[in-house]
Structure formats: structure tokens, C-alpha cells
Amino acid sequence: MIKESTSAYWKEQPNPIQNEATPTWELVMRDMENRNKAGIEKYGTPLQPHNGRNSLQDAYEEALDLAVYLKNAIIEQQSTN
């Protein structure tokens, strides 16, 4: 059964515990560098302002995709718990 709302799904969480894992910020920065390289390979230029595209539209469309992926992950996690 798929829940309509996720508010009942979220629980109070404890403070994070420091550990030996690579900080997430470092991993995200690496991903951003790789994404920039991939964009340059695909489009021949890095993402820059005044590039002829509507950045707000591009970002909004990406955010919509993100929302769908997040909801998918929540549904999949709920079905395995």
C-alpha cells in the first residue's frame, strides 16, 4: 500500500554522530566537478549566465524530476520496511 502523505513516515532523529566516513560535502563537490566536466563534453562549454537558455525553467524542470525521484525512493523504502 502506498501512503498518500509522508508526514507520518518521518520520525524524530538524533543528532548526527561523527565517524570516519568521507564528509558528504566533499563527495558532492567531486560530483559537481564531474558534472561540470560532463556538461563541457556534451555542450562544449561550461554552464554560464546569459547562455541563451532560461535558467529558471531549467532549474524548475530539474526540481520536478528530483521530486519524482525522491518520492520513488520513499515509496521503495517504505515497501522494504
* pLDDT, tens digit, 9 for 90 and up, residues 2-59: 556 666 677 889 999 999 999 999 999 999 999 999 999 999 999 999 999 999 999 9
pLDDT of residue 57: 98
Sign of the alpha-carbon torsion through 16, 22, 28, 31: negative
Burial grade of 68 (CB within 10 A; 0-12, 13-18, 19 or more): exposed
pTM: 0.69
pLDDT band at residue 63 using 50, 70 and 90 as cut-offs: very high
pLDDT of residue 1: 52
CA atoms of 47 and 58, how far apart (whole Å):
12
